[in-house]
Amino acid sequence: MNDRDEKGTRVYFDHNATTGARREVVEAMLPYFSRRFGNASSLHLFGQEARNAVERARSQVASLIGAEPGEIIFTSGGTESDNLAIRGVVAAKRTPARRPHVITSSIEHPAVIRTCRALEKEGVDVTFLPVNSLGAVSAEEVEAAVRPETLLISVMLANNETGVIQPSAAIAGVARRGGIAFHVDAVQGAGKIPVDAGAVGADLMSISAHKFYGPKGIGALYIRRGTGIEAVLTGGHQESGLRAGTENVPAIAGFGEACRISADRLGAEMAHIARLRDRIERGILAAIPDVGINGAGAERVPNTCNVTVRRVEGEALTLYLSVLGFALSSGSACATGETDPSHVLIAMGLDPVDAQGSIRISLGAENTDEEVDAFLDALPRVAARLREMSPIRGKC
């Protein structure tokens, strides 16, 4: 992934956007493109080979998050899982007598925020909770927002831009006391930190394979037994009647293998990545004046560093570094093309101009100290150059 070619060194620091599939993951997928190409719903040998792969992967996914295989529904990814969780619970629980109510936060992924905005147009009340300056939701504010008609609370496990981990277990307690379904978007947590659906207290949990070295286009929704939910995508009987459509067997097999490997290597990889992240943050603070680490002081996933370089536009910084061979992000990859500052950083109280000067560095298991050294050499020079050119003035 990080290699040298005729254009020079290429360093990938954008693992929250996506990761490359591990070699073992690709090898696990290959037979189901050709020799074992059967439809998993077919009763003959070809179909049963595919079915066995799907069920083996289901067990591997369940094992990663402390669930039972029967509680795992395969989807096309995190976005579909979020939609199924939110729309499916609202559809199952709403009644004509009461206008349904959903609680979420102001820092959620667009797959949650925009789904909730769409539900508002369909007659659902939604409360978007604020966060503190560290980017964390308060369980007390969740509890204060609960109404008799509240059907669902949806708060992410770890933020995709800052890496800040939310108080899921405390929020789950609020949901349990109120008899409310609790959905956790764990797309940026699963495969990066230990995740146990029971310990988190989730009734529903979204995960996505391509965030931890699995293939794109495949994800899962954990649904705790007894949770009321209706299908959003209708058609065939696949996935316990909750997700119609022929299963993507190669991707499912790869997803399962990614989960197996992650479970085996998580501890060692977390320690390695956390050390590199801490080196980067110390180096930035020492070398560049007038910067801030967003979410510093909060519990975070070990791979994510969100930095505000004041008096510099984050997009310009990202593009300049890209020319030098460093791949990172000026925000969420899902927001590329938008000119507004990050909704996450604004919710944390950052000045909109400062929010525009933020970049996200998200590390992976294959990153090295040499790459960190090269980055810490390049970033101060690029920041200084852009500040000289910047129309945004101020004193360091």
Q: Is 334 a catalytic residue?
A: yes
Q: What angle do CA 157, 55, 39 make, to 5 degrees?
A: 115
Provide the CB-side half-sphere exposure for 128 (13 A, CA): 16
User: How many angstroms separate the CA atoms of 203 and 223, rounded?
Assistant: 6
Report which of 318, 284, 287 is spatially closest to residue 386, judged by C-alpha positions. Answer: 318
Distances (CA, A) of 93 to 87, 173, 241: 10, 20, 18
Q: How confident is the model at residue 6 (pLDDT cuts 50, 70, 90)?
A: very low
Among the ranges given (6-15, 139-148, 221-230), the one the predictor scored with the smallest mean pLDDT: 6-15
Catalytic residue among 259, 305, 334, 396: 334
Mean pLDDT for the chain overall: 94
Q: Taking Cα atoms as reference points, which of 348, 320, 347, 343 lies closest to residue 331?
A: 343
- Say what the pLDDT of residue 391 is: 63
pLDDT average, residue stretch 57-85: 98
C-alpha to C-alpha distances, 364 to 1, 61, 265, 293, 333, nearest whole angstrom: 10, 20, 12, 19, 16
| Rounded distance between C-alpha atoms, residue 87 and residue 301, angstroms | 28
pTM of the model: 0.93
Question: What's the CA gap between 283 and 91, in Å, rounded?
Answer: 50
Residue among 188, 191, 150, 153 nearest 170 (CA):
153
Pick the CATH number of 4-20+266-389 from 3.30.450.20, 3.90.1150.10, 3.30.200.20, 3.30.230.10: 3.90.1150.10
Asked whether the predicted pLDDT for residue 335 surpasses 60, the reply is: no
Mean pLDDT of 165-175: 98
**Residue 324 clears pLDDT 70, i.e. is over it:** yes
pLDDT of 5 strictly over 70: no
How confident is the model over 228-281, as pLDDT tens digits? Answer: 999 999 999 999 999 999 999 999 999 999 999 999 999 999 999 999 999 999
Judged against a pLDDT cut of 50, whether residue 126 lies above it is answered with: yes
Q: What's the confidence (pLDDT) of residue 331?
A: 64
Residue spans of the domains in the chain: they are 4-20+266-389, 23-261
pLDDT at res. 396 = 40
Three-state secondary structure call for residue 301: coil
Q: Give the mean pLDDT of 153-181.
A: 98
Cα-Cα-Cα-Cα dihedral sign, residues 42, 46, 52, 55: negative
Bridge partners (DSSP) of residue 14 are 362
Instruction: Calculate mean pLDDT across residues 168-176.
Output: 98
Q: Above 80 in pLDDT, residue 295?
A: yes
72 phi/psi in degrees, rounded to 5: -110, 125
Taking only the tens place, the pLDDT of each residue in 185-201 is 999 999 999 999 999 99
The helix/strand count (H/E) of the chain reads as: 12, 14
Considering the domain delimited by 23-261, tell me its CATH architecture.
Answer: 3-Layer(aba) Sandwich (3.40)
CA–CA gap between residue 231 and residue 84 (Å, rounded): 7
Distance CA 357, CA 73 (A): 39
As a dihedral over the C-alpha atoms of residue 340, residue 341, residue 344, residue 350, rounded to 10 degrees, the angle is -140
At residue 354, does pLDDT exceed 50? yes
pLDDT of residue 136: 98
pLDDT of residue 9: 72
Task: Match 């085996």 to its residue by tokens.
Answer: 264
With cut-offs at 50, 70 and 90, classify the pLDDT of residue 8: low
Per the DSSP assignment, residues forming a β-bridge with 73 are 221
Q: Where are the alpha helices (DSSP H) in 65-146?
A: 78-93, 110-120, 139-145
| Higher-scoring residue by pLDDT: 337, 331 | 331
User: The tokens 């910084």 sit on which residue?
Assistant: 317
Please provide the DSSP assignment of 23-61 as one string.
Answer: HHHHHHHGGGGTTT---TT--SHHHHHHHHHHHHHHHHH
Asked whether residue 3 carries a pLDDT value surpassing 90, the answer given is no
Residue 340 confidence (pLDDT): 80
Residue 325 has pLDDT above 70, yes or no: yes
| Cβ–Cβ under 8 Å, residues 160 and 132 | no
Question: What percent of the chain lies above the pLDDT cut of 70?
Answer: 94
Q: Count CB-CB contacts under 10 A for residue 132.
A: 14
The pLDDT assigned to 244 comes to 94
pLDDT tens, position by position, 77-93: 999 999 999 999 999 99
Each residue's pLDDT tens digit, 90-125: 999 999 888 999 999 999 999 999 999 999 999 999
- pLDDT-derived band at 395, boundaries 50, 70, 90: very low
